[in-house]
Amino acid sequence: MQEAKLPENEAARVATLHSLRILDTPRDDRFDRYTRIAARIFDMPIALISLVDESRQWFKSVQGFEGIETPREVSFCAHAILGDDVFEVCNSRQDMRFRDNPLVIEQPHVRYYAGAPLHTPNGHKIGTLCVIDRVPRKLDDEDKRILKDLADMVVDEMISYVDPETDLANRHALMITGARLFKHVSVETGLSLLLFDISDTTGATDSQGASTTPGNVFADLLRSRFPAAECIAHIGGYRFCVLLKEDPSVNEVKEANRLCAEASKALRNFDRRGASSPLVGRVRSDTERHASFDDMLRDADGLYFDFENPPSPDFAESNRFVRAVINWRKTIF
């Protein structure tokens, strides 16, 4: 068996894959439909959307195969991402690279493989859309074009969940994740949506001439401060949301305080006044008030609106989270 070489841009490639926040996510019919279509069009028993991580290939969608991942060293897809076109193995038993591969001599007994690389907009190949048979096969040029077209459509689905400026989730991804988690909300197990607005830090150019933006800087701070978040999203402009499962061991007020202190320093070069801090708010799930995650998002939108139309003292007094943080900073909504 011959293991695939690592791509020259391996570190950047893996970083791009991880930035999509799709690894180890639940099955999704948006992706399953592509493997169903591929299996049907090419009359193959197995079709996969395979993502090649550092040491494994993980399957976002599977048709006709049991399992969710395999080691990278036995992966056909690890070979496929080394090229730009469809990678085809017509008869694995006659191919020196694969004839003693465990996936060939054991289940699923791969005899034929064709994989179209998943090209992201920045040029990296993060995996494949592949079809597999247990008998020798060969695709013609038109078949390969169709497989590549389907692979491009899969990538379009993936990046539709990602904000291109910050590589965080976008509002659509936040809604999908929140809706899935809200099904399990109860009085004992709730969700918390932390809200941040850094618009007061915009309008100046980094004094060091770096090409990064305030949004990029703040996105990195959110990732480092909330590594266990269910979703970190950039929802437009300079607004950000962090979706958390409520955990008694985590002091959200303290974490928000620390983040604001870090952001004040990190964003200083962008700040027109040199003293601004992110504005912070929170929406907690309430089984009596919220019938769905959409209701939580409406409350969040309302807080952002209140920020644009400054909140009254009555609002600040009624919100325990605001009262707890307002002692540290007066720029809280």
Which tens digits make up the pLDDT trace of 127-148?
999 999 999 999 999 999 999 9
pLDDT band at 21 (very low <50, low <70, confident <90, very high): confident
What predicted TM-score, i.e. pTM, was given to this entire model? 0.68
Band of pLDDT at residue 86, cut at 50, 70 and 90: very high
**C-alpha angle with apex 185: 235 to 247, nearest 5 degrees?**
80
Every domain of the chain with CATH number 3.30.70.270 lies at: 171-326
* CATH number for region 171-326: 3.30.70.270
- CATH fold of 10-159 reads Beta-Lactamase (3.30.450)
Phi, psi of 151 (to 5 degrees): -65, -40
pLDDT of residue 319: 53
In percent, the amount of the chain with pLDDT more than 70 equals 86
Q: Structure tokens of 174?
A: 């936040």
End-to-end CA distance of the chain: 60
Q: Which residues contact 207 (CB under 8 A, 6 or more apart)?
A: 269
What confidence score (pLDDT) does residue 202 get?
A: 62
CB-count exposure of residue 252 (10 Å: 0-12, 13-18, 19+): buried
Q: Where in the chain is the domain with CATH 3.30.450.40?
A: 10-159
Residues sharing a CB contact under 8 Å with residue 72, sequence separation 6 or more, in sequence order: 4, 52, 53, 54, 55, 56, 57, 78
